[in-house]
Chains A and B, each alone.
Chain A
Amino acid sequence: MSELSVKNLHVFRGERHLLRGLGFEVPAGCCLQVVGANGAGKTTLLRVMSGLLEAESLELTWRGERVEPRDPEYHAELSYLGHDPALKSDFTAAENIAFNVGLRRRVASQDVRSALARVSAEKFSDRPIRSLSAGQRRRVALAALWLSGTRLWMLDEPATNLDAAGQALVASLIQEQLSGGGLVMAATHQDLGLPAAQRASLEIGVHGVRT
């Protein structure tokens, strides 16, 4: 029983017909790992799936219903973590999480604290983002992702700038999401250490010929 199903996905970027008739399915509790060479369209695919980029054509089914990637109901169950972690450098880590998650759901300050603890970032909870390293910022963004409690995660290179412990953290967050019945689409070449039943992989760009 697949919760997310995509058929007939075509995307043009400029004059390039980047994604040609892509189709895939993701069942509940499964992580679809998107792999491909640089420029193959991994980011494009995740942005299209998140409704940030318009596809030429796309048949998207989410939990048994046809949806458009821009439907607010679909967005309410979806989190997107892109290259830029949407953190304000003048705000503290805790303030940023409270705002970013607060757009979606009510958060109390103990929720924010537990989210920061989940990513081992409670130390810099009250430090402005400006003073954090790129890896520390990534952890704060991961904390917001974890706290948002959405069912579908779109992760574009989630482990960027992270050390070995941080990469293990990404893997464990994904595992936690999957064991709760959630879905993940991740553009990453990292080995997430998932059992075979919980992972699938989608290679794109194999027929990304120029028109």
Chain B
Amino acid sequence: MTVRRTTAFSAAGLVLTRDLRLAVRRPSQLIQPLAFFAVVALLFPLGYTPELGKLRAIAPGVLWVGALLASMLALESLFREDASDGTLEQFVVCGQPLVALMAAKTLAHWLLTGLPLTLMAPVLGIALGVPVEAMPGILFSLLLGTVTLSLIGAVGAGLTLGVRRGGVLLSLLTLPLAVPVLVFGARATELAISGESLMGPLYLLGALAVLGITLAPLAAAAAVRIGLE
């Protein structure tokens, strides 16, 4: 038997495709955050006012808070199953860099929640009176922002691995860290709606994403190692 070692890159690819295939076989987990996002956004016309003019004013906040909470909702399951069935142990002992595997899992989480949430935002935006011209800006800002949310969330999910019923704690840990994303994202959306240039907050969102991509997988890997002990 000739044995060819798997490279770190293809190991990460395996983890990514495995998570995507698992999600396809269990679509309810995929749909839940989207449904949650829709319900939260659609509660505002009912709870506040059906007047599109007024809704447009709060649309940035509604869209971003909704996306933030929905992506958080999907976080709890990010590591939980892998931890309970022994998969994370195998990730640690398989000789591959854990940071790469964590990055792959985070990417899978973003593809399964952040990206669909982003694509859904314009639809909800229309219901909140957002003009069509603002959609590209909203899409782009959410695309950048949800990357950072997934990265922050992976760290939080890793840290709460050893905690019983850690769902509430997970929100408590990640929400303050997500404040900058919320601030810059909502501002970008606001500028997009009023038809101004949103490059300023977009750059800031991009900077946060780069910082997150650099540091968050390291922190998540350290957290997972500790959580398994």
Contacts and interface: CB of A to CB of B under 8 A. Distances in A.
Do chains A and B directly touch (beta carbons under 8 Å) in the complex?
Answer: yes
Interface of A: 50-54, 72-73, 75-80, 82-91, 99-100, 102-106, 111, 149
Contacts of A78: 93, 95
A174 to B, nearest CB: 18
Contacts of A80: 89-90, 93
A80 B22 CA distance: 24
A149 B1 contact: yes
B4 A105 contact: yes
Interface of B: 1, 3-6, 11, 14-15, 18, 21-22, 25-26, 84-87, 89-97, 228-229
Nearest to B91: A103
B18 A99 contact: yes
Contact of A76 (B4, B26, B92, B95): B95
B32 to A, nearest CB: 17
Nearest to A114: B1
Given A75-B95, A80-B93, 9 more contacts: A52-B92, A52-B229, A72-B96, A75-B92, A75-B94, A90-B25, A104-B96, A105-B3, A149-B1
B229 A54 contact: yes
A100 B229 contact: no
Given A75-B94, A103-B96, A106-B4, A86 B14 contact: no
Contacts of B3: 105-106, 149
A73 B14 CA distance: 20
Contacts of A85: 85-86
Contacts of B84: 84
A88 B4 contact: no
B169 to A, nearest CB: 22
B14 A52 contact: no
A86 B94 CA distance: 12
29 contacts: A50-B93, A52-B229, A54-B229, A72-B96, A75-B92, A75-B93, A76-B5, A78-B93, A83-B86, A86-B85, A86-B87, A87-B85, A88-B18, A88-B22, A88-B85, A88-B87, A89-B85, A91-B21, A91-B22, A99-B14, A102-B6, A102-B11, A103-B6, A103-B15, A103-B90, A103-B91, A105-B5, A106-B5, A149-B1
